[in-house]
Amino acid sequence: MTEKPLILVVDDEEDIANNLAEIIQVSELYDAQVSYSALEAEKLLEKNKSFLGLGKNKVRLIISDIKMPGMSGLQFLEKVRLEYPNIGFIFLTAYEDKEKWAKARKGLVAAYVKKPFRGDDLLAVIKRFFAGKEDWMVEQTKWELLEKEGKDSTDE
C-alpha cells in the first residue's frame, strides 16, 4: 500500500483550515495536516522530515494563506524555498495586491487561488499539481500574476 501525498494546510482562520483539510481528506487521494500559523507550520515541516533528515520531506504540498499574525504566508514561502525547495506551494488568499502578486511570483508558487473557493475547483488544482504539472503551473501562475499586475496598473 502506497502512502498518500501529504498536504500541509496553513491558515490562521481555523474554520477555513479545517474545512480545507476535510475537503482534501474526503477525496481519499491525499492526507492533510493543519497548522493555524506559519510558525506552527515550520515545526510540522521539521517533524515531517525523512529519517535523519535524508531524502525528501513527507510534506509534498503546502496550501497557505498570506495574511497571518506572527509570520505572513509570504515570509513563510521564503523560508520554505530556502529549506525545502522541493515542496510545492499554493496560496489560498483573499489578497489582491501587486506587491503580494510579485512576491508570490518570485517564490515560484504553483497556484494563487482566491477566497472564497469551491472545494472541487481547489481539488482540481491539487490534482494537476500531483499529476506532474507543477512546473507548468508555476509558469502559468507567473503569467497570470504578471497579467493582473499589468491590468492593475492600467486601471489606475
Alpha-carbon distance 144 to 31, whole Å? 29
Determine the structural domain holding residue 13 and report its residue range: 6-155
Query: Grid coordinates representing 32?
Result: 492533510
For residue 132, being part of any structural domain is answered with yes
Looking at every residue in the chain, the average pLDDT score rounds to 82
List, for residues 44-68, the tens digit of each pLDDT value: 999 888 765 555 779 999 999 989 9
In tens, the pLDDT along 101-122 reads: 566 556 567 777 888 888 998 9
Cell of 42: 515550520
Closest listed residue to residue 66, CA positions, set 100, 20, 22, 32: 100
Residue 104 domain-assigned?
yes
What pLDDT band is residue 156 in, cutting at 50, 70 and 90? very low
For residue 93, is pLDDT > 60?
A: yes
Q: Angle of helix 38-47 relative to helix 73-83, nearest 10 degrees? A: 20
Domain membership of residue 100 (yes or no) is yes
Most confident stretch, 19-33, 72-86, 87-101, 136-150: 19-33
12 in any annotated domain: yes
Residues in CB range of 81: below 8 A, 6 or more apart: 89, 107, 108
Question: What was the pLDDT predicted at 155?
Answer: 47
Domain assignment of residue 57, yes or no? yes
What is the count of structural domains for the chain?
1
Residue 142 lies in a domain: yes
DSSP, residue by residue, 63-88: EE-S--SSS-HHHHHHHHHHH-TTSE
For residues 131-139, give the mean pLDDT: 69
Residue 1, in any domain of the structure = no
Adjacent-strand bridge partners of 114: 93
CATH of the domain at 119: 3.40.50.2300
Q: What is the pLDDT of residue 14?
A: 96
Q: Does residue 153 or residue 106 have the better pLDDT?
A: 106
Report residue 18 as a C-alpha cell. Answer: 479545517
